[in-house]
Amino acid sequence: MLGMNKNDTTMLLLVAALTMLAPFILNPFPTDSGLAQFNAGYPDLMQRFVIFGIFAIGFNILFGLTGYLSFGHAAFLGVGSYSAVWMFKLLAMNVIPAILLSVVMAGVFALLIGYVSLRRSGIYFSILTLAFAQMSFNLAYSVLTPITNGETGLQLSLDDPRVLGVSQTADGSIPVTNLFGLEMRSTFEMVVGPWAFQFNAGYYLCALILLAVFYLSIRIFRSPFGLMLKAVKSNQQRMNYTGLNTRPYTLAAFVISGMYAGLAGGLLASMDPLAGAERMQWTASGEVVLMTILGGAGTLIGPVLGAGFIKYFENIFSKINESVLHSWFGALPDGLEDLLVTMVYPFVGKGWHMTLGILFVLVVVFLPGGLVEGGQRVTAWIRSKKAGGNKPTSTTEPAE
């Protein structure tokens, strides 16, 4: 199917099912129950799941295939966001031109940075990419203020000189982003008993793009180009001894990875037309590294799982406050309730970073291959149980 083997087709169909059915999967609890705190099926969060999944898939093409660890991929995310917002300000509110410009500009920027950075490998390559990312952040924050609007961030205004479209609507507000008239914020809510499911146009656009780039990553992994990148990761020095120049391959992987990041940045701006320098900070680059390693570097579905894992727990843990904890433990005696709230509160709310860090440490220690390795272990255990249960039992006694 589409040039893929059975396993790859199954994986693509699995990702398609998870993304298309996300409003149901992420809302398992009734809206009026105490466990509704753990629901994540609202448009903004679902959009971030798939957008950062795209970001992580692109990073995995570089890190997972070649072994080159970049600490500067947030620079391409930021370039994509700024490009998209400028397209909205100058041309039209249709998201297609903005997304295309984001990919092109991020690709050009990645070509320039990759051409210099890939002259070195290992930790020196990582430091170079980190330096370029921090330079980009500082330029966006201060020197390039006329283009980026500095710390305030680039956003739409009522006096934008938009060529195709109006600068403001009939009621005097700023036009919203759309896909040939379909507004990205358009949301349909379906109520089924105590459950409420939201279907957002912007989310499904991002989900379809995720499926397209995931399919592209599968083809890259299985192509001769992908095999060459895996050979670079295995032993680049030996390949150089054979007279093969590996730099064009690694540079191509770097540019493709940067274009994925630019696509993610363009989608972020398409869902919320705002671009700030914080998207280019080194912490954003570190986040995509964590997503890829947590899910399983070098695997196809791992980065998507890692992105979903981090974004889910980041949002769930951060919104649990003292009042929520008191409602959870309210049935207990007052002294015990206060004690439990005091013990749990440092790990949620403002302290959610600590909980996420603990989860990350546990996964890395016990599942070095990431969440994908965990899934493989569970699958192997289930198969071994089935195989053990199907073995015929002997009814004869051994001879004495």
Residue 250: CB atoms within 10 A of its CB come to 25
Distance of alpha carbon 334 from its chain centroid, rounded? 42
Overall average pLDDT of the 279-283 stretch: 85
Would the pLDDT of 242 be above 90?
Answer: no
Neighbours of 392 (CB within 10 A): 5
Full 3-state SS string of 198-241: EEEHHHHHHHHHHHHHHHHHHHHHHCHHHHHHHHHHHHHHHHHH
Q: Which residues contact 354 (CB under 8 A, 6 or more apart)?
A: 346, 347
Residues near 399 by beta carbon (within 8 Å), at least 6 away in sequence: none
Number of domains in the chain: 1
pLDDT 10s digits, 33-49: 777 888 888 899 999 99
* pLDDT of res. 379: 84
Structural tokens at position 273: 């037309």
Nearest 10 degrees: CA dihedral of 256, 258, 259, 263? 140
Q: Is residue 228 part of a domain?
A: yes
Kindly give the interhelix angle for 224-241 and 201-222, rounded to the nearest 10 degrees: 50
Under 8 Å between Cβ of 250 and 240: no
The answer on pLDDT for 19 being more than 70 is yes
In a domain, 287, yes or no: no
296-348 pLDDT per residue, tens: 888 889 999 999 999 988 888 888 888 888 887 878 888 888 888 888 888 88
As given in the structure block, the two tokens for residue 381 are 């255990």
Alpha helices in the chain (DSSP H): 6-20, 22-25, 43-66, 74-90, 95-117, 122-138, 145-148, 201-222, 224-241, 247-271, 282-295, 302-318, 322-328, 334-344, 352-366, 371-390
What pLDDT does residue 245 have? 86
Any domain includes 200: yes
β-strand partners of 188: 199
* Residue partners of 25: CB distance under 8 A and separation at least 6: 18, 41
Instruction: Measure the CA–CA gap between 135 and 129, rounded to whole angstroms.
Output: 10
Q: Is the pLDDT of residue 253 over 90?
A: yes
The domain of 99 spans 6-27+41-278
Give pLDDT, residue 99: 96
How far is residue 260's CA from residue 357's CA, in Å, rounded to a whole number?
26
In a domain, 284, yes or no: no
Q: What is the mean pLDDT of the chain?
A: 88
Query: Does any domain span residue 397?
Result: no
- Does residue 156 form part of some domain? yes
Band (400; pLDDT cuts 50, 70, 90) = very low
Residues facing residue 154 across a β-bridge? 275
User: Is 51 a domain residue?
Assistant: yes
Residue 271, domain member (yes or no): yes
83: Cβ contacts below 8 Å, ≥ 6 apart: 98, 101, 102, 104, 105, 106, 262, 265, 266
Residue 70: name the closest of 139, 18, 131, 145 by CA.
Answer: 131
Per-residue confidence (pLDDT) for residue 390, from 0 to 100: 59
Render pLDDT for 157-216 as a digit per residue (tens, 0 to 9): 888 888 888 888 888 888 999 998 899 999 999 988 888 899 999 999 999 999 999 999
Amino acid in the structure at residue 134: Q
pLDDT at residue 388 is higher than 80 = no
Radius of gyration, alpha carbons of the chain: 24
Please return the burial class of 144, using the count of CB atoms within 10 Å of its CB with bins 0-12, 13-18 and 19+. middle
Return the H-helix or E-strand segment holding 183: strand 182-183
> Which tokens hold the place of 29?
């609890």
